[in-house]
Chains A and B, each alone.
Chain A
Amino acid sequence: MLYNLQHIIENAAKSLPDRVAFSCLKKVITYQELDQQANQLAHSLLNNAHLKGDRIGIYMPRCLESVTAVFGILKSGGVYVPLDPFAPAHRTAAIIEDCNIKTLVTIPNQKKRVEGVLKETSQIQLIIGSETISNCSSIAWETIFEEKNSKPLLEILESDLAFILYTSGSTGSPKGIMHTHYSALSLAKIVAHTFDFTQEDIFGNPAPLHFDPSTFGYFVAPLVRAKTVIIPEAYLKMPASLSALIAQEKISVWYSVPLMLIQLLKSNTLTKYDFSHLRWIFFAGEVFIPKHLKALMEIWPQARYCNLYGPAELILCTYYPLEEIPDAHINIPIGKTWANTEFKILNSQGEEVLQGEEGELTIRSATLMQGYWNNPEMTQKCFHQVNIAQGYQHTYYKTGDLVKLSEANELLFLGRNDRQIKLRGYRVELDEVENILLQHPLVEEAAVIAVKDTEEAQKLQASILLRNGKSLQIDELREFCSQFLPSYALPESITIMKDFPRTSSGKIDRKQIANLIDQPQP
């Protein structure tokens, strides 16, 4: 049987029990060990009065324990919520309260951070995987591994929720994208069906769990019985070491944002080691500058390259395998929708555009999320319903991405119809950053724009107006923002202005601000 995510591991444990499922540097776990440890965690959660559908936080950096946490929570009928351990404690606490998390699964070296989060919220009652923390019960991993390792008797349906991914929300608080076992398993099945992966493959997983590309390493790889190498945090900051690790681990399938591949390219190490195992390079999240992609394809000709596309609400939905090295000036298509997926391109009236015309991409797919946690209004707004007959509707997700269809019937990405941007691969709502600035009591108005930093990356510039006659140190405001925003979403510069350029209707003219900031302030 295969209709929920833990079936992937249970089936693999039966057919290939001793095969390594995941590794992280020297630590490895086989399919059977993973299945049994996940059962033990599930029993412990169930013994502690957890009910089906309970949200449970996973609070740890990239490490092997994250895999046991994912499958253990799923086997208990729980919904895992990955929490970025590097996010400000205040933001983490807001997520914990938004989806009512009472239990955190962590690892011992995160103790200080856990304590930081507990200072911001009183909702957590149980910590799993860390030593005793005051005012909170805790269970060590050693105790978990004394539980029985049989499969818990609990029926998990494909329509049950599996995880919630929090992402930037324009109102100033993060929004939770709900995926079911069905939507996530559909993604794994479609990807496995589309590409030629085998159990000999080794997947490199640089994505943190709270970032949807991690579904490749955590679900697609075990579905094809391959091994996933979890890349530890430190390697992502030192491209020359990352390159050595990819060669050493004999990674054959790589999936990351383009920026990481560009950093590898610029490390001057790609001819230094043996990369003959690399078969597939996938990238998504941002436009890959064709010039760099071309250089990469020339230096690693043994691999095949594929552009993937999809908002976290659908995980992924289109793909474009590159058959040849692209011309340095082309816009690399996001390609075609894959199995179990269809699309419409709509104009602002919600009508389908003609072939070749620009419009908003809307997608209907088995991988579509359930909705936004605790926010039916926003869920309603992001869906486009097509009435087929009385009581029968097709639900499309409005991506907010502007596209057109090329003559070869491939989708071309043209931009956004709102103020969401990608910053070094991270999804950021400019309105969220503005709303956080506005929460400071001395800030009257705020405008945040993205400007080109280097050729391949953008940065945020904030401009503010202070309340009448008030003064404020920029450092103080920066400190304020860092309590609420993840580090990648903090403005690179904040400028205090006397007034904003405005449009005739009095709105802030953000385009003009970009020009003004480029010139020195009088």
Chain B
Amino acid sequence: MKDKISNYIIHHIAKQKIEAIHADDDLLADGLIDSLGMMKLVAYVEKEAQIKIPPEDLTLENFMTIDHILEYLANHSTT
């Protein structure tokens, strides 16, 4: 999942050309992903993890880094 998310960010939503992204890189503070890109990332994570993320969970604490996203998924996966 970690590689899938980082590949998706690098190839589909990153606003600058980047070679790699680390699991603890801040996705929100800088201009790497804009708000539209963030919505796409949420939809992608939902599809890949086969869960529905309720809008009230769209917080900095859950989406700041890839690590945060993975932790959120670990706590909310249905299996």
A-side interface residues toward B, CB under 8 Å?
A: 61, 85-86, 232-241, 244, 263, 266-269, 272, 424, 479, 482, 487-488
Contacts and interface: CB of A to CB of B under 8 A. Distances in A.
Interface string B38-70: 100000000000000011111111011000000
A235 B56 contact: no
Interface in B13-47: 15, 17, 26, 28-31, 33-36, 38
A482 B15 contact: yes
Interface of B: 15, 17, 26, 28-31, 33-36, 38, 54-61, 63-64
13 contacts: A233-B28, A233-B31, A234-B26, A234-B29, A237-B35, A238-B28, A238-B60, A244-B59, A263-B35, A268-B54, A269-B55, A487-B15, A487-B31
Contacts of A236: 35
A267 B58 contact: yes
Nearest to B26: A234
A238 B36 contact: no
Looking at chain A's contact residues, the main secondary structure is helix
Nearest to B57: A240
A267 B56 CA distance: 5
A263 B55 CA distance: 9
Given A85-B31, A424-B36, A487-B34, A240 B15 contact: no
B45 to A, nearest CB: 14
Contacts of A268: 54-56
Nearest to A116: B16
B55 A488 contact: no
Contacts, number: 64
Contacts of A232: 29
Contact of B58 (A238, A272, A488): A238
Contacts of A237: 28, 33-35, 38, 63
Which 8 A-B residue pairings sit nearest by Cβ, starting from the closest? A86-B31, A234-B28, A237-B38, A241-B59, A241-B60, A268-B56, A237-B35, A240-B59
Contacts of B63: 237-238
Given A234-B64, A237-B33, A479 B58 contact: no
Given A234-B28, A482-B15, A487-B15, A239 B34 contact: no
Contacts of B35: 236-237, 263, 424
Contacts of B33: 237
A482 B17 CA distance: 10
Nearest to B36: A424
B44 to A, nearest CB: 15
A424 to B, nearest CB: 7
A241 B29 CA distance: 13
Contacts of A272: 56
Given A238-B38, A241-B60, A488-B36, 13 more contacts: A61-B30, A85-B31, A234-B28, A234-B64, A237-B34, A238-B58, A238-B63, A240-B55, A240-B57, A240-B58, A269-B55, A272-B56, A479-B17
B29 A235 contact: no
A487 B15 CA distance: 7
Choose among B17, B31, B57, B63 the residue with the greatest number of A CB atoms under 10 Å from its CB: B31
A83 B38 CA distance: 23
B60 A269 contact: no
A239 B57 CA distance: 9
A269 B58 CA distance: 10
Contacts of A239: 55, 58
B8 to A, nearest CB: 15
B60 A235 contact: yes
Nearest to B61: A241
Contacts of B57: 240
Contacts of B15: 86, 482, 487
A266 B35 CA distance: 14
Nearest to A266: B55
B21 to A, nearest CB: 15
Nearest to A492: B36
Contacts of A233: 28-31
A235 B60 CA distance: 7
A235 to B, nearest CB: 7
B28 to A, nearest CB: 4
A240 B61 CA distance: 10
A257 B33 CA distance: 20
Contacts of A267: 55-56, 58
A488 B58 CA distance: 21
A128 B18 CA distance: 27
Nearest to B64: A234
Contacts of B59: 238, 240-241, 244
Given A234-B28, A267-B58, A488 B34 contact: yes
Nearest to B35: A237
A269 B55 CA distance: 8
A80 to B, nearest CB: 21
A235 B55 CA distance: 14
Contacts of B55: 239-240, 266-269
Contacts of B26: 234
